[in-house]
Amino acid sequence: REDDPKSPTNQAPPILTDEQRLEKMKGACETILNCIGEDPSREGLLKTPKRWAEALLFLTKGYAQTVSDVTNNAVFEEGMGEEGDMVVVRDIDIHSLCEHHMVPFTGKVHVGYIPKKKVLGISKIARIAEVFARRLQVQERLTREIGSAIMEAIDPLGVAVVVECSHMCMVMRGVQKVGSNTVTSSVLGCFKNDSKTRAEFFSIINRR
């Protein structure tokens, strides 16, 4: 029965050690190499399964991180009263993997927020973006997650996030359109409710 806690479909998968996880991934990579017509035993590919497994674990390390881990108490009370000025960090490099094809998408993230009583260490904004980028993603969700995480971390008056990326699933396969970019935005709090605040943010990030 599906509602039986002992049913195989309701049991959590076994927790693997780092070494067990690496070995399973190496075996999976060897299978893939065989399936595409390669020989995993040839010299140039002997260490590829291990390298691939280690690289993929690095590219998805966000699953093992939380926002509180990376902010590391870098949240400061600045005595601003009920409202501060806008803080904007532009052009944060971002690298992620599309969850549909597991190929990269890369680009920039722009983040703005208006503090209420707390501010974040500037580098922590980039680290928050990194936590969610280092997972299998779709750009729309990534954009929302960054904004929601900052709202939760410091309870500002509002947050705005814009992500601009080139997707290799469009460049290397499919329609193969080099030079195309996808732009997504998420606006929360005062950025959503106040068109002037929203316009100010977009004006700042578009200055070159």
Active site residues: 98-101, 139, 167, 169
Give CA–CA dist 124/147, Å, rounded: 13
- Beta carbons within 10 angstroms of residue 29's beta carbon: 19
Beta bridge partners of 164: 108, 183
SS3 180: coil
Beta bridge partners of 185: 162
Question: In sequence order, what DSSP letters do the residues of 99-131 get, joined into one string?
Answer: TTT--EEEEEEEEEEE-SSEEE-HHHHHHHHHH
Give CA–CA dist 154/159, Å, rounded: 10
Chain length of the chain: 208
